[in-house]
Structure 1
Amino acid sequence: MQQFSRRAFAAISLAAPLVLAAARASVARPQSVPPDVETRSLDELHRAALAEGGKLVVYAGGDIPNASAGLEQAFKKRFPGMDARIITDLSKFHDARIDLQLARGRLEADVAHLQTLQDFERWKTQDQLLAYKPLDWDAIAPEYKDPDAAFHAISVVAFSNSFNITLVPEADAPRDALDYLDPKLKGRICLTYPHDDDAVLYQFDRIVNAHGWEYIDRLLQQDVLWVRGTVPARLAVQEGKRAATFTASGAFAPAANSPLRFALPRHDVFHSWPQTAAIFREAQHKAAARLYLSWMASKDATIARTGQWSVRRDVPVPGGYKPISEYNTDPLRFQLFMQDRTRVERLKTQFEEMIGPALGPNPTGAKGVYLVDI
């Protein structure tokens, strides 16, 4: 069995920023335009957004309906009079929707924050993004922002183990990939189709690299409940339909009275990445978009919505966890994976051949090129 040593992972982690920089440098891009550097306060930005009309449309990556309702309400509460819509759909549908809107000459989205990291470099190369440094730009760690300010991360997301403590004792809960092959977990696992979500695909790719395709053969013998969407996988565990999953994110500090617990592996590498945001150059509501990204970057808003790691260097990690650099993960490597679309599509086909097609409708229910009349 192939082992992925911490020493080897550390070497790759140290090299990752250099590889990522080289990959970015190899992409042709238009001449850099100096970014807008925000100097106004949030209240001043709010007044400018209201003067513009007070409307905002954000496309947010996610996999359940109204997943961003809490964020939308928090924004409206902080900035009265704003008519903001934060619309959730799978990132792979949002990016296609944005491209179609651009091709049609009528862009609905002002801002997007998505998992499809390769899109932001592409849109930058196509001169589709508005270079902008929001308030508190310097507080964002440099590895999480484009050097030309075309885009930046708003949060760091990790997928790992979620389990229900009423169904499996915390001491016995699966933490590493091989733990999920325990016969005691047969019929008790829920997982997201890897060929339906690139972040989950990346998880499975690393598992196969470590344990071979035989691991998937053995996993399929565990009577897994396969679902579309990572939040639906987590909810299946939270609701007691299954005991555990490794294809979902979760808060480091569990909610009160919740049976759900999130835990990182004991030994395995786990997947983390910077969820990335940008304003489009053709945005209809640029003042509102600037307000939104400056608010999202602010310390108070960041603390309020941070369940795992923040992209800000001055926000503590919740739940007693350590900085991400002290764990067996590298949030920069996912972008390299996402840029190799030929390999990604080949992996999708291979996993679909082994597991079967992803069954069920789009878990968000969103459909159509345009989603809101605003």
Structure 2
Amino acid sequence: MLHLMLCLVAAVGLPGLLAATSLPVRAQSQLYAEARTESAFAFYVGGPTAPWEAKAKIFEQRYPGIKVSITGGFSNVLDKKIDEQLKDDKLEVDAAIFQTLQDFVRWKAQGHLLSYKPQGFDAIDASFKDPDGAFYGTMVIAMPYMVNTEHVSSADVPDSALDFLKPQFRGKAVTPYPADDDATLWLFHHVVRKYGWDWMDKYMLNKPNFIQGHLGQQRSVASGQNIVAIDSIFNITEPMKQEGKPVASHFSTVDATPIWPLTGAIFKKAPHPNAARLFMGWLLEPEQQAATGSWSVRGDVPPPAGYKPIFSYKVVNDYRDFLTNEAQLIDLRKRFEHYTGPVVNVGGVR
């Protein structure tokens, strides 16, 4: 073991190895050594791919000898690929990081997930993890309002769902198709529960636009093609803002802002189980949690600069319960598709 540790120190440097992990050096060294014999880690991720490619480069620099392969796309498409692989007993990925939390609940019940509680697991809020360690959040996704600051004055920033019915936003509001995007469906579900289906009728009369996925939605707000969004993804908006684009997020003081954990899990039949443990544990380190551009699932990591702790806002956090009510999901998808029609404005994740 001493020889192994000396080899690792020589490979990555003692200061870097110590800074890289909150695990004891010996345990981390052993896990890295085992992961390095596997030489690879592969995972599917839902949503924009570029941020994860950047993370993979950092991980590969910290842990030389492990090549990370990423397949990005829509969670509700990639999960079906995994289901087919599991059915055929030909699993190609080690882990999945998805929006579709119901998949993890189902995969756990079917016995497909590896229970793993990395360092920092105890610091994760109970609502963001499975108590057995079968799955847990990698970051908190918040869905505040988004505006184009060149077209919407500070006095006109929406502060409730009712504000999106104003004539000034006619033809200039955009969301993903609710029947296609479960997070958007969940948000609209809470809106109509509070304001009634009459709100949805009025919203449609205001000629909103629809697109597949949040990346295309938020790019359209940044460009001025649309000017407001009721269901943005905070950690897509903030990088745009930092790049100098005329966008801003607003947390309603009237309606609860939806929050949910972008969730990950390792499969029991993962081709590279030790590399998967190393990567998923690395994601939970405070340094990596602080670098997500969003709130951490850990209660001991500060919020993004300029923002309060996430539970200081008026939020709703019942996404997992919503997604595991299959009968309600089916009914709501059909009802909202009746309003919007099927997906025709196709989006992407790059």
Alignment match, 1:32: none
- 3-state SS, counterpart of residue 144 of structure 2: strand
- 3-state SS, counterpart of residue 179 of structure 2: helix
The question of 1:348 aligning with 2:336 is answered: no
**How far is 1:46 from its partner?**
2.9
Q: Which amino acid aligns with 1:353?
A: H
Higher helix share: 2
- 3-state SS, counterpart of residue 88 of structure 1: strand
Aligned length: 324
**How far is 1:44 from its partner?**
4.1
Distance 1:98 1:244 in 2: 35
**How far is 1:364 from its partner?**
4.0
Alignment match, 2:115: 131
**How far is 1:282 from its partner?**
0.5
Distance 2:189 2:125 in 1: 28
Q: Which amino acid aligns with 1:224?
A: P
Distance 2:287 2:245 in 1: 25
Q: How does 1:111-130 map to 2 (within 5 A)?
A: 111-130=95-114
- 3-state SS, counterpart of residue 196 of structure 1: coil
**How far is 1:281 from its partner?**
0.2
Say whether the 8 Å CA contact 1:233–1:247 is kept in structure 2.
Answer: no
Alignment match, 1:299: 286
**How far is 1:41 from its partner?**
4.9
TM-score w.r.t. length of structure 1: 0.82
TM-score w.r.t. length of structure 2: 0.87
Q: 1:116-173, CA deviations, whole angstroms, 9 ceiling, x for partnerless residues? A: 1122122112111111111222332333222211111111111121111111123322
Please list every run of 5 or more consecutive structure 1 residues that lacks an aligned counterpart in the other structure: 1-37, 366-374
Say whether the 8 Å CA contact 2:174–2:210 is kept in structure 1.
Answer: yes
Alignment match, 2:56: 72
- 3-state SS, counterpart of residue 216 of structure 2: helix
**How far is 1:278 from its partner?**
0.8
Say whether the 8 Å CA contact 1:66–1:87 is kept in structure 2.
Answer: no
Alignment match, 1:59: 44
Alignment match, 1:359: 344
Distance 2:200 2:131 in 1: 40
Alignment match, 1:308: 294
Say whether the 8 Å CA contact 1:42–1:294 is kept in structure 2.
Answer: no
Q: CA RMSD in A?
A: 1.9
Q: Which amino acid aligns with 1:132?
A: Y
Q: Which amino acid aligns with 1:325?
A: F
Distance 2:120 2:197 in 1: 45
Alignment match, 2:314: 328
Alignment match, 1:102: 86
The question of 1:216 aligning with 2:203 is answered: no
Distance 1:205 1:314 in 2: 32
Distance 1:249 1:85 in 2: 25
Distance 2:40 2:107 in 1: 23
Distance 1:238 1:45 in 2: 43
Alignment match, 2:323: 338
Q: Which amino acid aligns with 2:98?
A: L
Q: 1:32-82, CA deviations, whole angstroms, 9 ceiling, x for partnerless residues? A: xxxxxx765545433321112x111111111x4545222222222322232
Q: 1:226-277, CA deviations, whole angstroms, 9 ceiling, x for partnerless residues? A: 1010121111111221111122212486415221111111211121111211
- 3-state SS, counterpart of residue 272 of structure 1: strand
Identify if the C-alpha distance between structure 1 residues 67 and 321 changes in structure 2 by more than 3 Å, giving closer, same or farther: closer
The question of 1:270 aligning with 2:263 is answered: no
Q: How does 1:133-148 map to 2 (within 5 A)?
A: 133-148=117-132
Identity of aligned residues (%): 34
Say whether the 8 Å CA contact 2:215–2:349 is kept in structure 1.
Answer: no
Identify if the C-alpha distance between structure 1 residues 71 and 268 changes in structure 2 by more than 3 Å, giving closer, same or farther: same
Q: 2:271 aligned to 269, 284, 299, which one? A: 284
The question of 1:48 aligning with 2:30 is answered: no
Distance 2:78 2:27 in 1: 31
Q: How does 1:243-262 map to 2 (within 5 A)?
A: 243-251=227-235, 254-262=241-249
Distance 1:131 1:65 in 2: 26
Distance 2:66 2:312 in 1: 40
